[in-house]
Amino acid sequence: MPTLRVELLEGRTLEQKKALVQALTQAVVDTLGSKPEAVDILLFDIKRHDWATGGVQWSERK
C-alpha cells in the first residue's frame, strides 16, 4: 500500500529512473515487509525554474 511521490529536478535519464524505482521499491520491501506489488511510485520532473531554494530558482544557480 505504500505510495511514494518523488520530486526531482528534470534531466534524469530513463535508466536512472528505472534504477531509482527498483531501489526504492526494494527499500520499502526490506524495511516494512510490504509485497512489491503493493508499492506504487510516482516520479515528478520539476523544471529548474519551478524549484526555488532560498528564494532563488535553480535555473539561476551555477
What residues are labeled active site? 2
**Is position 6 an interface residue for a second copy (rule: CB under 8 A)?**
yes
Of 56 and 62, nearer to a second copy (C-beta) is: 56
H or E segment at 16?
Answer: helix 14-32
Q: Which residues contact 51 (CB under 8 A, 6 or more apart)?
A: 7, 9, 57, 58
Minimum gap (Å) between residue 7 Cβ and a second copy: 5
Fill in the amino acid letter for 59: S
Tell me which residues touch a second copy (CB under 8 A): 1-9, 12, 14, 16-28, 30-32, 35-46, 49-58, 60
